[in-house]
Structure 1
Amino acid sequence: MTKSFVLKEYLFTFIFWLVLAIVLWFNFQSTTETYLAMTQAAIIAAFSFTFTHFLTNKLLPKALREKKMKRFLIQLIMVIFMLSLVFSIIFTYLEVEPKDQLPENFRDQLPFLWKGFYMSLPASFLINGAACGVKFYNEHGRIERDHILLQQAHLENQLKLLQDQINPHVVFNILNHIHILMKKDTQLADYLLLKFSDILRYQLYHCNENLVFLNKDIEHIQNLVEVEKLRWGNELDVKESWEITHKKLFIAPLLLVAFIENAFKYVCRLPGHEGYVEIICKEENNTLYFCVENSYSDIAIHKKKDRTGGIGLHNVQKRLKLQYPDSHDLKIETNNNVFKVTLILKLSDHNE
């Protein structure tokens, strides 16, 4: 429970009882002397607070925990009767008339006490009902706040899990490329190892934040594309277009990586087929347009159905729903052996 929430609860309770005491004082002052009216109001407010505090802070929470509300209703009625009895004693023995007008015999005073008790029942019921209402209101606010905190923690855990699923996959692919090239072209492997260090540095030191600068994330993607281009050489036709005008925009880290990986993983490389990958990245008016298109073969896709190729795009869709629920438009199209992913994303220039 946060300090601000506790402070608001105490402040609300204090104002409630202060207003009640002032209302009682004004009501009594019309028929009673000022000092006596103040005394009656203070005594009634004190007893009311004591009884209702016990009711709402002891009996009610216990009834809610044990789910025994019927027992609480009986306890509520008993408290109302007890508080009405206290009111009756106050109204009977602290009246405007002198005390000697009351019968000396206690048995003869019972009608006065009974009348005061009967007249006090509505007030006692309203006071206890209002106190229980205030308590229910505070409990509802506390439950709602806890629910929001749990929901935020759950979303953060989901995002962390999805991001952790992406990072090892990226590292594995690049290490596998370098391992193959070490046997064929050590100079190229050395260059790719430098690129890999930049990629790994970005993932280790920048991707722990919820949002990163767009230009840094795009630079990371460009390094990945460069690795793939150098690996496949002339076997693939790779076209790129990068237009980022606002470099201080923020984006969720590693959100776009899966599109690049998916394109190079499933691009057609069968003999006699010319594969291509086309990447268009454009930012305008705080809106990112990201499109990745690649050729593919039904045979190649069928062979990789039992692999984990679909995890990347599936994770991106989850992350977009969690982090950009109302500010993204994702289209995945397959037509004539062409696979195309188009993402339109509304970005912010605040790291929130």
Structure 2
Amino acid sequence: MNTAVLKNLKKFPLHLLFWIVVWFFFSSFFSVGSKNENFIFWFSSILSTIAIASSYVFVFHLIPNFLIAKKHWQFMLYAFYAGIFIVCAVLMTVVFGFVFFYNLEFQQMPALTKNSGVILVCVLLIIVLTSAFKILKDTYKSLDEKKTLENKFLKTQLQLKEQELKFLKMQIHPHFLFNTLNTLYGFALKKSEKAPEMILKLSSLLDYILYQVDKPLVLLQDEIGHIEDYVSLEKFRFQERLQITFNKDLIGEKLEIPPMLLLPFVENAFKHGTQIDGVLAVNINLKVDENELDVTIENTAKNNENSKKGIGLENIKKRLEMLHPKKHFLEISQEEKVFKVNLKIPIKNEA
């Protein structure tokens, strides 16, 4: 059986109960001053029929097809026609009682049943109540559907953000590993005794990338530890040609940040830095102020040397927009012989 039909059948008992209550209202109200039960029965039944027909015309046709559809002029026109029908039907009901039950003796009719204005108000009251209930129900349903659609849209957006974030991480990892493996390859060719130590540090970085980076947050201390491993690898590569300072101020043990958030900036300093007078200078400063992490990374670079930053910094910008929308500060500047990155992000204390 059709779903709509089954839905309407379930509502039938409630509708029937409502109209029985309406009939009793008409019967009780218009029986005042009358002992003619037969007349009151038929009079109430006819008024109930008018109310039922008019209400369903408004509820199932005029309101959904014109009022809710914002066809206001058409709704007003058809409502006017319906009003004429209701007035005529009420007047005919009064005439029906006057002719068939009181033998044209108008004065014998109960006062309320011969007052067309009172009868019309009672019928219109029922129609207004049913129409108002329909409008409120449709409004609530519309708001509920809108909320459901918004939730679905937000859920879809969140899934897309997560997929984009995973894609950005996938881009960062090969980019970082390519540079590190190049360094290790150079030492292997030279058969350097430092190659085993480099492999150990690289394995630690690989463990971080493969098993920790999918977590939403990691300890800031862990991120710093892997930055130090990376810096050690670069020290092996540059030897005396590298001058580096790494300052860590007020770094708590329980502070957390998204993984691989700082490492790409450090990597960029080494990859795109320029040796001035035979030395590459890199300065890294980390400072925690209340619930904010302030990171400054500087490296020597000739003008326009860092204009092409590769995919690393561009991806990290996108990650920051997704992770901390409008809550982070990132400034990248090129001064004379110095390339500078300043990042400020909110941090979470695990404790």
The bucket for the TM-score relative to the shorter chain is 0.5 to 0.7
For residues 275 and 171 of structure 1, what CA distance do their matches in structure 2 show?
21
Q: Any conservation in 2 of the 1:215–1:244 contact (CA below 8 Å)?
A: no
5+ long unaligned stretches in structure 2: 1-13, 32-47, 103-112
Shift of 1:255: 0.8
Among the aligned pairs, what percent are the same residue?
Answer: 28
Shift of 1:223: 1.0
Aligned CA distance change for structure 1 residues 292 and 123 (closer, same or farther; 3 Å):
same
Shift of 1:123: 2.2
For residues 99 and 279 of structure 2, what CA distance do their matches in structure 1 show?
111
Equivalent residue letter for 2:209: Q
TM-score, normalised to structure 1, is 0.66
After TM superposition, the runs of 4+ consecutive aligned structure 1 residues lying more than 4 A away are 100-105, 111-119, 299-302
Q: What residue is the counterpart of 1:227 in the other structure?
A: 233
Q: Any conservation in 2 of the 1:245–1:284 contact (CA below 8 Å)?
A: no
Q: Any conservation in 1 of the 2:248–2:285 contact (CA below 8 Å)?
A: yes
CA offsets 1:204-234 (integer angstroms, 9 cap, x no match): 1111111111111111111111111111111
What SS class does the counterpart of residue 187 from structure 1 fall into? coil
Aligned CA distance change for structure 1 residues 126 and 282 (closer, same or farther; 3 Å):
same
Equivalent residue letter for 1:334: Q
Query: Structure 2 residue aligned with 1:195, among 191, 201, 209?
Result: 201
What SS class does the counterpart of residue 349 from structure 2 fall into? coil
Q: What residue is the counterpart of 1:293 in the other structure?
A: 298
Q: What residue is the counterpart of 1:167 in the other structure?
A: 173
CA offsets 1:96-151 (integer angstroms, 9 cap, x no match): xxxx999679xxx9x99988655533223212111111111211211222222122
Equivalent residue letter for 2:298: E
Aligned CA distance change for structure 1 residues 273 and 231 (closer, same or farther; 3 Å):
closer
Q: What residue is the counterpart of 1:177 in the other structure?
A: 183
Equivalent residue letter for 1:223: D
Q: What residue is the counterpart of 1:186 in the other structure?
A: 192
What SS class does the counterpart of residue 285 from structure 2 fall into? strand
Q: Any conservation in 2 of the 1:330–1:341 contact (CA below 8 Å)?
A: yes
Q: Any conservation in 2 of the 1:249–1:286 contact (CA below 8 Å)?
A: no
Q: What residue is the counterpart of 1:311 in the other structure?
A: 311
Kindly report which structure 2 residues correspond to 1:107-186, keeping only aligned pairs within 5 A, or say none.
Answer: 118-186=124-192
Question: Which of structures 1 and 2 has the bigger CA Rg?
Answer: 2
Q: Any conservation in 2 of the 1:291–1:340 contact (CA below 8 Å)?
A: yes
Aligned CA distance change for structure 1 residues 101 and 130 (closer, same or farther; 3 Å):
farther
Kindly report which structure 2 residues correspond to 1:210-221, keeping only aligned pairs within 5 A, or say none.
Answer: 210-221=216-227
Q: What residue is the counterpart of 1:262 in the other structure?
A: 268
Aligned CA distance change for structure 1 residues 141 and 299 (closer, same or farther; 3 Å):
closer
5+ long unaligned stretches in structure 1: 1-16, 34-42, 93-99
Q: What residue is the counterpart of 2:333 in the other structure?
A: 333
Equivalent residue letter for 1:282: K
Shift of 1:286: 2.9
Aligned CA distance change for structure 1 residues 185 and 290 (closer, same or farther; 3 Å):
farther
Aligned length: 282
Shift of 1:55: 6.0
Deviates more, 1:251-260 or 1:120-129: 120-129
Aligned CA distance change for structure 1 residues 145 and 301 (closer, same or farther; 3 Å):
closer
Equivalent residue letter for 1:123: L
Equivalent residue letter for 2:220: L
For residues 222 and 244 of structure 1, what CA distance do their matches in structure 2 show?
17
For residues 102 and 170 of structure 1, what CA distance do their matches in structure 2 show?
99
For residues 210 and 103 of structure 1, what CA distance do their matches in structure 2 show?
84
Q: Any conservation in 1 of the 2:275–2:281 contact (CA below 8 Å)?
A: no
Q: Any conservation in 1 of the 2:273–2:306 contact (CA below 8 Å)?
A: no
What SS class does the counterpart of residue 186 from structure 1 fall into? coil
What SS class does the counterpart of residue 149 from structure 2 fall into? helix
CA offsets 1:19-48 (integer angstroms, 9 cap, x no match): xx8xx89x969x679xxxxxxxxx9xxx9x
Q: What residue is the counterpart of 2:8 in the other structure?
A: none
TM-score, normalised to structure 2, is 0.66
CA offsets 1:76-99 (integer angstroms, 9 cap, x no match): x89xx8xx99xx9xxx9xxxxxxx
For residues 348 and 155 of structure 1, what CA distance do their matches in structure 2 show?
21
What SS class does the counterpart of residue 341 from structure 1 fall into? strand
For residues 288 and 115 of structure 1, what CA distance do their matches in structure 2 show?
71
For residues 299 and 126 of structure 1, what CA distance do their matches in structure 2 show?
70
Q: Any conservation in 1 of the 2:223–2:263 contact (CA below 8 Å)?
A: no
Equivalent residue letter for 2:244: V
CA offsets 1:270-326 (integer angstroms, 9 cap, x no match): 6x4432111111224232121110001247557xx4xxx332112222222221124
Aligned CA distance change for structure 1 residues 147 and 235 (closer, same or farther; 3 Å):
same
Aligned CA distance change for structure 1 residues 239 and 117 (closer, same or farther; 3 Å):
same
CA offsets 1:176-216 (integer angstroms, 9 cap, x no match): 11111101143212211111100000111111111111111
1:281 aligns with 2:253: no
